[in-house]
Structure 1
Amino acid sequence: MQHQPLGVAPNYTTAALVMLGVNFAWVFFALWAAAGLIPVLLLAAGINHLISRLAARRRA
């Protein structure tokens, strides 16, 4: 077996963020179809609150 030096790992950050957005879109759409717009808005507000808390915690 030949030993080759390891290369640099590719940066998949953009692809991961795009897929996160796609997954949020279909989850919101399915929730909207099943329960209406109010639960979608509440879920979005809850996720926004959690992201804000995480950002504040990382700054501290």
Structure 2
Amino acid sequence: MENRHPQPVEDYTSANMVLIFVNLLWVFVLLWSWWGLGPVLIVAVLLNHLITRLELARRRHEQRFDRF
């Protein structure tokens, strides 16, 4: 049996960030065209809040494992 080492893979982070931006953009435009700017602002604030909570949870999780 051969013992092969895995090859490094390409980093697709920037491509994924562009796709997330494009998807958010068309969803925001769709919301804006149907219901106006208010729901777009509410969704944007909600997403910002969720991203902030996710960051805090990840930091707490990392600190818990750094103590050991």
Unpaired runs of 5+ in structure 1? none
AA of the residue aligned to 2:29: F
How far, CA to CA, are the matches of 1:52 and 1:12 in structure 2? Answer: 23
Partner of 2:29: 29
Number of positions where the alignment pairs a residue of Structure 1 with one of Structure 2: 57
Sequence identity (%): 44
Moved >6 Å (runs of 4+): none
Alpha-carbon displacement from aligned partner over 1:7-51 (angstroms, at most 9, x marks no partner): 321110000001100110000000000010000000000000000
- CA-atom RMSD, angstroms? 1.4
Q: What is the 5 A alignment of 1:1-60?
A: 6-60=6-60
TM-score w.r.t. the length of structure 1 is 0.87
| Bigger relative CO (Cα 8 Å, ≥ 6 apart) | 1
Unpaired runs of 5+ in structure 2? 61-68
